[in-house]
Amino acid sequence: MLQPKLLKKVIEVLEECQIPYSVTGSIASSLQGEPRATHDIDLIVMLKKTDVENLMAHFKEQRYYLNEQSIKEAITHQSMFNLIDTEEGDKVDFWLLTNEPFDVSRFKRRYQEDFFGIKMFVTSPEDTILAKLRWAKMSGGSQKQMIDVLRIYELQFGQLNMEYIEFWVEKLDLEPLWAEIKDKANPL
C-alpha cells in the first residue's frame, strides 16, 4: 500500500469512528512548504478508551499491526502509539492530544485540506512551524525540521499570523531557532 492509500484508509476510519484528528509532521509541512519524502504519517488524535475497540476492528486485517495495549497506555499517558502496514512498511504515528496549551491551541486551529484527493484536517502553517521548531529543539537542532520550517516560512510568508507565531515562540522558548529561520529566509 502506498502512503496516500494508507493515509486515506486511516482518515476514513477516524472519520467513520468520529475520532477528531489533525495531520501534522512531514505531510503537513509538505502541503504548506516544500514536498519531501517521509517514512511515516503523523496524526494528532483525540481518542478515548471507548474508541479503542472500534479502532481495532477497522485494522484487524493481518497486514496491519496495531497493539490494543499500546493504544490504552497512550490514552492513559497522553503519549503515542503506532499502526504499521506490514506489507508496505508504512507507519502511522498517532499522537494523543494533550492538555498542554499549545497542543490545545493547534488542534483548535486545524483546517481542512485536500491531499491526493483526500479531504483531511491539517495543522495550520503557523502551528506546523512551531511544532517543527519544538522538535528541532528537542533533537538538538535537526536540520530536516529546520529546512521544513524555513520552506513553510518562505512560501507562506504573506499569509502567516506572525503575532501568533511570536507569542508561542516566546512561550515555548524557541527564540534562537526562530531567529535562525528569519535570518536565513528569502520569503517569496
If asked whether residues 31 and 78 sit together in one domain, one would say yes
If asked whether residues 112 and 163 sit together in one domain, one would say no
Computed over every residue of the chain, the mean pLDDT equals: 94
If asked whether residues 35 and 107 sit together in one domain, one would say yes
Does pLDDT of 124 surpass 90? yes
If asked whether residues 54 and 131 sit together in one domain, one would say no
The pLDDT value recorded for residue 1 is 38
Q: How many residues does the chain have?
A: 188
- Boundary of a domain, candidates 93, 123, 153: 123
If asked whether residues 39 and 11 sit together in one domain, one would say yes
Residue 87, SS3 per DSSP:
coil
- Boundary of a domain, candidates 123, 148, 168: 123
Does pLDDT of 106 surpass 90? yes
If asked whether residues 30 and 82 sit together in one domain, one would say yes
If asked whether residues 133 and 110 sit together in one domain, one would say no
Higher pLDDT, 1 or 140: 140
If asked whether residues 67 and 33 sit together in one domain, one would say yes
The pLDDT value recorded for residue 188 is 72
- Boundary of a domain, candidates 123, 147, 163: 123
Instruction: Report the CATH number that the domain containing residue 55 is assigned in CATH.
Output: 3.30.460.40
* φ, ψ dihedrals at 182, nearest 5°: -65, -35
The pLDDT value recorded for residue 7 is 92
Contact criterion met (CB below 8 Å) for 73 and 79 = yes
If asked whether residues 87 and 7 sit together in one domain, one would say yes
If asked whether residues 26 and 101 sit together in one domain, one would say yes
If asked whether residues 96 and 161 sit together in one domain, one would say no
Does pLDDT of 90 surpass 50? yes
The pLDDT value recorded for residue 49 is 95
DSSP codes joined into one string, 18-59: T--EEEEHHHHHHHHS-----SEEEEEE---GGGHHHHHHHT
If asked whether residues 115 and 151 sit together in one domain, one would say no
pLDDT band at 88 (very low <50, low <70, confident <90, very high): confident
| Residue 145 belongs to domain spanning | 126-184
For residue 122, list its beta bridge partners: 23, 111
Q: For the chain, what is the domain count?
A: 2
The rounded Cα 139 to chain-centroid distance in angstroms is 17
The pLDDT value recorded for residue 61 is 85
Q: What is the pLDDT of residues 25-73, one digit of tens each?
A: 999 999 999 988 777 899 999 999 999 999 999 998 889 999 999 999 9
